[in-house]
Structure 1
Amino acid sequence: MTLKSGLIGCAALCGLAMTTQAFAACEKPLLYGDFVRSVCKEWPAYPGQTITATSQFESGFSASDSGPDGKYDLDLAVLSAGNAKPLATYHQSAAFVSDAFRLDDLEIDTARYKLTPDLRAFGLRVNFKGSSGPNPMDESWLSLYVKEGNTLRPVLERLVMYVYSGEWDTRCAGERANTVRTIEIGKTSSHGYADLIVKSVTTSMVGEGEGDACEVKSSTGKPVLTTLRYDGKRYGLPDGFKGVQ
């Protein structure tokens, strides 16, 4: 283990211990930096409960001299106000890879993901940013989790909700496009869970010329609706809908 990775490991473990109470109160986490992303949010559907998410440099993995490139674990928890002991947790080792396609941020999504009359999911959005100006690549992934006893279970994994990509000269000439997706709860269900209706809207941009003669034309396609159905374990995703690394 390198000195850098040893210090990171110590900081992560010590920091996590200190942030448990802060998370319970949904205060700003004490542990946040190049090697850690953490966030907490109160869950409006369940007053008094808080959702926390932390993604930190994989334990035992040596950081490169160039920066925080490598694998990141994921820890989720649902906490009760005033009680540091989690009601439910989830851990995934090596959940993400951060390199030229960089892990940028985490967001907790508490929209009304009502999958059954008595069950509501929450979402985790993971944002990535590419490092190339001429070949931009940004994405945001959404995963949904449900509480089952003292565990959290993923029922939807890595649905790409936003993607921006292209090839251009960083000034004008070239092509770029972005796709934005939204989710609605369907009126039909599969294996007891509501179907999810995903609306995708893509906007394309084409630039030509240089300087004052630069002309950019944009066009937005018609919305495309896609139905996601639960197979008894999770929602299946069509080709091109799932974030990969």
Structure 2
Amino acid sequence: MTVKSGVVGWVALCGALMAGQVLADCVPAPVIGDLDFSVCKQWPAYPGLNISADAKFERSSVPGGTDTSGTYDFNLSLIKSDQTEPVATYHQASAFFSGGVALRDLSLDTARYKLTPEVRAFGVRVQFTNASRLNPLEETHLSLYVREGDKLRPVLSQLVVYEYGGEWDGDCAGERYETTRTVEIAKTSSHGYADLIIKTKTTGTTNVVEGDTCEDKISVSSPELTTLHYDGKSYVLPKGFKATE
């Protein structure tokens, strides 16, 4: 469940309280600003444990900045469904930057990221887009976190799992690309954590004028497999895999 804007968040919280379900349901924390994000999701691997995350926007004070120019403080927590206080937390100030390319969505990923027989990670996906028709750009970044006592620790930071972009003349001529990456758990391991197999697939499209028509020429690359190794602190990302700071 996701909440964007304080009004919606407060309505959702009040509704749950009135129904007497606040302890059973995963309710996103209320947010205030129109550009804030809040999300909550039950963790299927651990019944009764919920994951909560929020990104709170701080507008830039730099002269000439746009309304969406600024940074996001990021908060992450694990909360038992029958309690209000988190059992584990993580905080990162100025975790995300928003400007010409703005944060558009925050979501939680509870796929089977089993790194050891005892350790399972969960993911946070952050989507960024711009508003350009002629030079569109969209990216989704994935980070993975594990619990260590009362703390949550990132073990994979800002892997680009989706990217779309290109240039267009507004009529026909142009080029665009789309890259997707999926994550699988390998049977091998490094420094105690399972290696991650990243499958990358890229599709390119060129639009050209041929006579009176606009034709699409599409090229699809063969999937590429890349293995990420844990170095004792985090998974090391090759050049081009990590989001640009």
Calculate the TM-score normalised by the size of structure 1.
Answer: 0.86
Seen in structure 2, the aligned counterparts of structure 1 residues 210 and 67 have a Cα distance that, compared at 3 Å, is farther
Seen in structure 2, the aligned counterparts of structure 1 residues 23 and 146 have a Cα distance that, compared at 3 Å, is farther
Is 1:237 aligned with 2:237? yes
Structure 2 CA distance, aligned partners of 1:139 and 1:36? 19
Structure 2 CA distance, aligned partners of 1:141 and 1:124? 8
- Contact (CA 8 Å) 1:40, 1:51: kept in 2 or not? yes
Structure 2 CA distance, aligned partners of 1:126 and 1:98? 12
What are the residue-to-residue correspondences of 1:192-211 with 2, within 5 Å?
192-209=192-209
The one-letter amino acid paired with 1:209 is V
Q: CA deviation at 1:62?
A: 4.7
Q: In the alignment, what sits opposite 2:93?
A: 93
Q: CA deviation at 1:172?
A: 2.3
Q: In the alignment, what sits opposite 1:50?
A: 50
Structure 1 CA distance, aligned partners of 2:211 and 2:44? 50
String of CA shifts for 1:200-220, please: whole Å, max 9, x gaps.
Answer: 000000001289611111121
Q: In the alignment, what sits opposite 2:150?
A: 150
Root mean square deviation, CA, Å = 2.6
Identity %: 53
String of CA shifts for 1:83-118, please: whole Å, max 9, x gaps.
Answer: 010010000000011111101110100000000001
Structure 1 CA distance, aligned partners of 2:65 and 2:130? 19
Structure 1 CA distance, aligned partners of 2:173 and 2:31? 42
Q: CA deviation at 1:133?
A: 1.6
Question: Which structure has greater helix proportion?
Answer: 1
Structure 2 CA distance, aligned partners of 1:23 and 1:52? 14
Seen in structure 2, the aligned counterparts of structure 1 residues 148 and 23 have a Cα distance that, compared at 3 Å, is farther
Calculate the TM-score normalised by the size of structure 2.
Answer: 0.86
User: Which runs of at least 4 in structure 1 moved beyond 2 Å after TM superposition?
Assistant: 21-25, 27-35, 60-66
Seen in structure 2, the aligned counterparts of structure 1 residues 89 and 212 have a Cα distance that, compared at 3 Å, is farther
Q: In the alignment, what sits opposite 1:129?
A: 129
What are the residue-to-residue correspondences of 1:96-107 with 2, within 5 Å?
96-107=96-107
Structure 2 CA distance, aligned partners of 1:211 and 1:27? 56
- Contact (CA 8 Å) 1:25, 1:82: kept in 2 or not? no
Seen in structure 2, the aligned counterparts of structure 1 residues 57 and 24 have a Cα distance that, compared at 3 Å, is farther
Q: Give 5+ residue unaligned stretches, structure 1.
A: 1-10
Is 1:217 aligned with 2:226? no
Q: Give 5+ residue unaligned stretches, structure 2.
A: 1-5
The one-letter amino acid paired with 1:55 is A
- Contact (CA 8 Å) 1:189, 1:195: kept in 2 or not? yes
What are the residue-to-residue correspondences of 1:99-118 with 2, within 5 Å?
99-118=99-118
Q: CA deviation at 1:26?
A: 1.1
The one-letter amino acid paired with 2:26 is C
Structure 2 CA distance, aligned partners of 1:227 and 1:65? 40
The one-letter amino acid paired with 2:81 is A
Q: CA deviation at 1:35?
A: 2.5
Seen in structure 2, the aligned counterparts of structure 1 residues 24 and 132 have a Cα distance that, compared at 3 Å, is farther
- Contact (CA 8 Å) 1:103, 1:129: kept in 2 or not? yes
Structure 2 CA distance, aligned partners of 1:211 and 1:143? 47
